[in-house]
Amino acid sequence: MNPRGLCREVTGPEDEETLRFGARQVLQGEQTVEQCGRHDLDGAEAEVEQRSATLRAAALSVRNGLHGCCPRTSMFHVKHRRSGTLDPGSRVPAWIAIANQKGGVGKTTTAINLGASLAAADCRVLLVDADPQSNATSGLGHAADGSHPTLYDVLIERAGIGEAILSTAFAGLDLLPSDRDLAGANVELATLADRALRLSRQRRSLPAGYDFVLVDCPPSLDLLTLNALAAADTLLVPMQCEYFAMEGVSALLQTMDSVRATLNPRLHLEGLVFTMFDGRTSLSRQVAAELRGHFGSSVLETVVPRNIRLAEAASHGIPALQYDVRCKGATAYLALAREMLKRRRQQLPAHDHAA
């Protein structure tokens, strides 16, 4: 696409949105303000400067909570990573499975936007799309068209994990894509003795340098989810505040306990996060209060509200942080990243002592 075509005289709402899109391309590094036509240069400069300043402030806000939080990592590592003085192999990435067998609770939205928020804090993040629907793949701007190795190829050992990783438009956030062929993995792996450990075995082959690996699971407790739990260090559960969701979470936590007892003793709960929250309804507030009373500190303080910008960003193939950093959804995921990093910083001494 020619970026010059994105900048022209603003004559109405559609043209205003075109200019906003052009400004976003500047933030993505695909063009400079000078490439825009002179007739709207002032408006483009103002838009870009405002968004750039907001993005820098948001990233700094997350980064301020980063020191000592990444697994085996500190801000010293982040600052020296670019200069090449740090051996990337010295960092051990934290694998987080994002799962809930109930569909439509915001798993993929959480995976994409949490990953972008962590990347904004100078963490290097890999998002693994383990859902045959491939929404995380398309939500990060890649087509699930079979033109590139995917997680399916990795699980059946037709390709290595490093061969399948793609970069995204958001710096620091990479993608291991999926396509519809992944649905066949449940059948093809069913007869194999190591069917639940295929992804876990790939941990050793992961290219060095990642701080976090986020696995976006399908809305079911099948072999794909089982592989994710067997490979993960922690489980993050997005959930809506409704009564049916409570039953689903209980079943998922029972599965986590079974995986921990038989396949992955290091697996523990990262937390539960409320998504698509509507504080105007008494039902949402009531269910949230009951869940916090039942699960206690396992429920993260950050609440992700319903926000149309999150859906709009996905339709453009970019995270909300890149689409509109000032929207409530992007702000919530920045806060979620900050809270998770803070918790890891507090838990790190205990984990190091145990090791």
Name the strand (E) or helix (H) holding 305. strand 299-305
> What's the CA gap between 219 and 37, in Å, rounded?
47
Least confident of 32-36, 201-205, 242-246, 295-299: 32-36
Length of the chain (residues): 355
Structure tokens at 128: 């693994």
On average, the pLDDT of the chain sits at 79
In the predicted structure, residue 272 carries a pLDDT above the cut 70: yes
- CA atoms within a 13 Å half-sphere pointing along the CA-CB vector of 15: 9
In the predicted structure, residue 178 carries a pLDDT above the cut 70: yes
What pLDDT was estimated at residue 8?
A: 34
Structure tokens at 82: 């670019």
Task: Find the helix packing angle between 107-120 and 308-315, rounded to 10°.
Answer: 80
Structure tokens at 300: 């993260």
In the predicted structure, residue 67 carries a pLDDT above the cut 50: no
Structure tokens at 15: 């043209």
Residues 254-266, mean pLDDT to the nearest whole number: 94
Residues 76-99, mean pLDDT to the nearest whole number: 58
Type of residue found at 130? A
Give residue 189's Cα distance to chain centre.
26
Could you tell me which residues come within 8 angstroms of residue 214 by beta carbon, excluding any fewer than 6 positions away?
96, 98, 111, 114, 115, 125, 126, 127, 128
Residue 85 pLDDT class (50, 70, 90 cuts): very low
What pLDDT was estimated at residue 144?
A: 75
CA separation, residue 32 to residues 3, 29, 149 (Å): 9, 7, 33
Residues 171-198, mean pLDDT to the nearest whole number: 93
Residues 234-256, mean pLDDT to the nearest whole number: 86
Q: Which domains does the chain have, with CATH numbers?
A: 3-57 (no CATH), 77-354 (3.40.50.300)
> What's the CA gap between 95 and 204, in Å, rounded?
12
> What pLDDT digit, counting tens, does each position of 145-163 carry?
778 999 999 999 999 999 9
- Per cent of the chain over pLDDT 70 is 72
Tell me if the pTM is above 0.85: no
> What pLDDT digit, counting tens, does each position of 285-325 carry?
888 998 898 889 999 999 999 999 999 999 999 999 999 99
Structure tokens at 288: 């949230």
What pLDDT was estimated at residue 129?
A: 97
Residues 267-283, mean pLDDT to the nearest whole number: 92
Residue 51 pLDDT class (50, 70, 90 cuts): low
